Amino acid sequence: MPRKSYQVIVYGKFAPLDDDQRAKLLAVADQHDLFHSKFTEEGTVTYERTLLTFTFRCAVKADAEDKTEKVVAGVEELATAAVRGLGADVRDLRSVCTDLETIKIKRRGR
């Protein structure tokens, strides 16, 4: 069965944080700065020390007949689980999904 490759970025806000949650997130913030972001199958969470918003990047291989909505829903579940694993909760998720097969690369003229 043919497979498709996607890159999905989930943007979200942290749900209201208490002092303990803030301390836990700030303690590992250096491991989650923008310089550590990459598209992986597990996904990576990045956020700034303001602790307002986060970004989750994920690379997904899906069956060719899978709808984009299904791919995005799965990645949003991964993002929610990853942020909860850091001791926080999420709200206001929105996602951007790119089918890597549809990207056109313009070659420079020689």
Find the DSSP H helices in 1-110: 19-27, 68-85
Q: Where are the domains of the chain?
A: 3-102
The pTM score is 0.88
pLDDT tens digits along 76-93: 999 999 999 999 999 999
| pLDDT of 110 | 58
CATH class of 3-102: alpha beta
Place of tokens 């990207």: 103
| pLDDT of 109 | 67
| pLDDT of 78 | 97
Average pLDDT, the chain: 92
pLDDT tens digits along 15-50: 999 999 999 999 999 999 888 889 999 999 999 999
| pLDDT of 64 | 79
Strand order, beta sheet including 3-14 = 44-47, 53-63, 3-14, 90-99
CA distances in angstroms from 7 to 24, 39, 62, 78, 105, listed in the order given:
29, 7, 11, 13, 16
